[in-house]
Structure formats: C-alpha cells, structure tokens
A and B are shown apart, each in its own frame.
Chain A
Amino acid sequence: MAEAIERFVPDGATVAMGTALEPAIPFAAGHEMIRQGRRDLTLVGPISDSLFDQLIGAGCVARVCAAWVGNVSEGLGHCYRRATERGEPSAIEVRDHSNFSISLALWAAAWGSPYIPTRTLLGSDIVTTNPDLEPVDGAVLVRPVRPDVTVLHAQRADAEGRAHLWGPLGISEEAGLAARRVVVCCEELVDAEVILSDPNRVFLPETKVAAVVHEPGGTHPSPLQGHWRRDHAAYRDYAERSRTAEGFQAWLQERVLGVPDRAAYLAAVDRDQLRIRHRLPSAPVDYGDA
C-alpha cells in the first residue's frame, strides 16, 4: 500500500474514493495518504462516509468535489465544518454536486464529452456556487471531472488488476473509466482463472489499473459484501471524538499516525464480531464454448 500511494498519489492529485457510497470505502488507502503527509489533494466522490472528513482534518486536502461529506449514521462531518467555517486546519474549496451530477461529471470525463446536459439541479442553488455546472435553457450542463487516480476496494482481484466487485456499484465504473489510472485494493488476491471465469463481473478494464494492493480489511469501518459488516460503533466513536480539533488529533494519532500499516490498525478491531456469517453464494453462469 505504501508503495502504491507513494507512486500514484502525489501531492496535488485529484483522487476519487468511496465510489460505491457506504460500502467498500478504501479507508486503508486514505490513511496511508495521511501517514505520508499528502497535501493539496482534490477529493472526488459521492457521499464519503467519514473518509473525506479524516483527510480534511489531517490537512491533506485543498478541494472537495462531492455530493455530501459527513458520517452517514451519525450526521455532520466535524473536520469538514472546521475547514469550511474557520479554515482549520486549512481552508478548502468546495465544489458541490448532487449524487446524480457527480456521476454525470465522471461519465462526461469517461466519454470524452465536453459536458452532459441534464434536468437535475434545475432550480437548485448548487448551479450558482459550482462553476462546473452551467444552467442553460431548460437544462444544466455538467462539465467533466477527471480524477488523476481512482482508488477502489474490490472483493477479489488478480495480479493483473482485473477485479470483481459485487453488490451496489455506485459510481465506481465511471470513476474508474474517467481516471487516468486506478489503484485496486482487494480483499482477496486470486488467480487470473478465477477472475476470468466471470468476465461480466470485471467492472473495469485492466488497462486502467496501475497497481493492485492486497489489503484485507482495508475497508473497515465500512462494509464489504460477503466479508464485513459495517462497524457502526466505530463510526459513532469517530463522530464523538472528532467533535473537537483536539479530539480529532488524538483519534488521528491513535488510529492512523501511530500505526505503521493496516495490519496494526486491524489488531485493535474486533473482527470476529464484524465478519459476515451467513453465506449466500450466487449460481455460476456458463460462458462456453471454446
């Protein structure tokens, strides 16, 4: 992970994360960006269940291009508030979107379109405060948003970067297609034949993938279908501790800066209690004949 972030997420990069919305958020990758002291990032995503808040509080962020920044089960993002209201620890620029418009902005970049016209956001003040959205007669033009790198966490991938992600995809496909390159984190690193037995489930072309990181448990506290439940208590703990800047710094030291890597982070998590217990495998499909 350290090498992937070092090589593919430089200072000033535009980074898309949390693209499946509440599930499969690559917290391990975000925490590594914090440990490496990244600065001036532009974060792109739909709702970011707490990860963007943590990067903002750690001072890594110059701009946020998202539909929502907070904590889905607990409410407000306290670091996001301090940064936007008081410039602490540093001021950030906000380019507000809705969930639909950030998806369209990424599709526009993915398709190489100068804009995509839509009827969503007509009548919303979001078009008056985000220069990437232009109201015209009866429509809003959504300008492309192109990530330098999209970081995703999938259930399984092979060493070539072909990944299977299942469950709701959110905006993962357009975020991956629009990005200059993709870092795939995975719960399981498997043989190519496992992945290629079901090419419909490969959600991005391998040509986009710059790095594959085997990082089990990398989505905690967010859930991952078939592996992990959401750790609601961890989200509550973060919400309470991040209420003050001092509380956030103590949390950051304990859970991010003071641990060398994900394995050390997970040692303090009750993983047995979060593991998925009920198996529900799908039926295989037949891709013959050859």
Chain B
Amino acid sequence: MPDHTPQELMVAAAAREIRDGELVFVGMRLPILAYGVARNTHAPRARALFELGLLRDQPAAGFLGTMGDPPNVAGALWATRMSNVMALMAQGEVDLGFIGGAEVDRFGNLNTSYVGDPARPRTKLPGSGGGADIAILSRRWVTLMSHEPRRLVERVSYVTSPGHGDGPGWRARVGLSGGGPAAIVTTLAVLRFPEGGGEAYLATVHPGHTVDEVRAQTAWDLRVAPDVAETRPPTAEELAQIRRLDPDGFWTRRG
C-alpha cells in the first residue's frame, strides 16, 4: 500500500507544475492545496490570484473549503474586484492557471457545460466559472480530473474552455493570446502537450498503474512518450504540507 492517496499524488504533481516566481491563477479544490505545497516547498516567491478578487503570497493559515473562506482573505496582499484580477490575466501576466475539468479531449479542449445537445442536455454540468477565461488568457494552464474513458474523450461535444482546438496552430488562427494547456493531471497519470500545441501524450504513469491501463481508460488512442516514466510519488515534505493544509482529508482522503 502506498503511503499517500491518489488525490495527494495529484496535488503533489500539480504543485510541481508551479515554477518559482510565477503568478498563479489558482481556481478551486485541489489546486488550492497545490499552490500551498508549491509555495512552501520549491516556489517560495510564487503568488496566487483568486478570481473573486484576491492576491496572496502565503497560503492561508486555516483550512479552505473554497477560495472565499475567511482564512484566504486574512493576510491577503490585495482584496479587490474580479475585473481587476481578470485585467492582469487579460494582459498576459498570469503565468499558470488551474481549471477543473469534467471532460477533456486529445487536444485539451474542456467541456464543463453540456453532455449531449445543449438544447436538451443529457447532463448539465455547472458551467465555465472562470475556466474559459483561464483557458484563453493565461500563459499556460493545467487541468485535473478523474481518469475515466467517459471523461477523456476523443472529441468533446461542447468546448467550454478551448485547449488546442483541432490541433497545432489553431489557437493562433482563432486569436487566443495564451499558450493553452500544458498538462492534464489525472488519477492515473500526467499527460502533456508538445511545444506549440497539438495532441496530448502520456508523460508519466502514477505508481501502481501501467501504460496499458492508462491507455485503456482513455477513449482515444493515446500516444505514449518514448521516455515515459513513473510519476514521482509525493515526498515526505510535500505530504506534510498537504496534510497541514487539509488536516481532515476533506479534499484528499474522501471516499
């Protein structure tokens, strides 16, 4: 038995996407933990933006169920309106954004709106939130999701948050300023995209899982990097940070 949960591994993998000194558009759920882990380990000069209107450096001192919980406001560097936070992203000043996904396709397009016909959907998902804004305006972004064939699909039926569209060059043609998706962190693996966009490939497989299993749980014919490796499990320090930020396992040890 590994000494960490799948969610803890996802948080550690997401945290490693954050480089020191970056301005990060954090989003909700696991990325809130990932920012805290990164800031307290390898990225002590990172800063976090929250779309409701906050800028922070230190992670909140208390547990966060949402970005709007009072501990996230106490000690903020800037408490403001949403449009001011979006202004920074619209100028290309957000290095990295996180987006929660329900469905993603091989080009990293995300659907969080409608499964089936939008006029009479089979499933109505909550919607974009800030997801589409991050996908279009941040310099690069990462999405986290459960790895299942119904989620990693050949082509999303509705593009809420555009990735690389129909392939390399699409973003430039449409006029999207940001660089698009850099990685998909799932419960089984980390998928990455080539420089300049295009199709996702399998970069690392989480410990205890195999390339074949990941490919079987992906609805398209997933390409595999020639140097595919095992995802590095969370270090003791990363785990300690995660468990400090999520002491009751609300995000990382739920059923």
Contact = CB atoms under 8 A, between A and B. Distances in A.
Same complex for A and B? Answer yes
Interface residues of A, number: 64
A167 B52 CA distance: 9
Contact of B69 (A68, A124, A229): A229
Most chain-A CB neighbours within 10 Å: which of B51, B126, B170? B126
B110 to A, nearest CB: 10
A152 to B, nearest CB: 13
Chain A at the B interface: SS class: loop
A122 B133 CA distance: 9
A90 interface: no
Interface stretch (A79-87, A178-186, A239-247): A79-87
Contacts of A280: 74
A81 B125 CA distance: 7
A172 B80 CA distance: 10
Contacts of B81: 168-174
A120 interface: yes
A107 B83 contact: yes
B132 A68 contact: no
Interface stretch (B3-11, B154-162, B200-208): B154-162
Interface in B123-140: 123-133, 135-137
B219 interface: no
A36 interface: no
Contact of A223 (B68, B80, B83): B68
B50 A168 contact: yes
Contacts of A76: 125-126
Contacts of B80: 168-169
A76 B133 CA distance: 21
A204 to B, nearest CB: 12
B130 A100 contact: yes
B127 A123 contact: no
A61 B8 CA distance: 40
Nearest to B136: A120
Contacts of B74: 278, 280
A20 B68 contact: yes
Given A23-B52, A168-B53, A225 B70 contact: yes
A124 B160 contact: yes
Contacts of B113: 96, 125-126
Chain B at the A interface: SS class: loop
Contact of B176 (A84, A99, A104, A123): A123
Given A119-B136, A120-B133, A97 B128 contact: yes
B101 interface: no
B129 A98 contact: yes
Contacts of A123: 136, 159, 162, 165, 170-171, 174-176
Nearest to B73: A167
Contact of B65 (A67, A94, A120, A230): A230
Contacts of A70: 126-127
B73 A168 contact: yes
B15 interface: no
A171 B126 contact: no
Interface of B: 28, 50-54, 65-70, 73-74, 79-83, 86, 90, 113, 118, 120-133, 135-137, 158-162, 165, 170-171, 174-177, 250
Given A66-B127, A123-B174, A168-B50, 8 more contacts: A46-B82, A68-B128, A107-B83, A122-B176, A125-B113, A169-B81, A174-B83, A278-B74
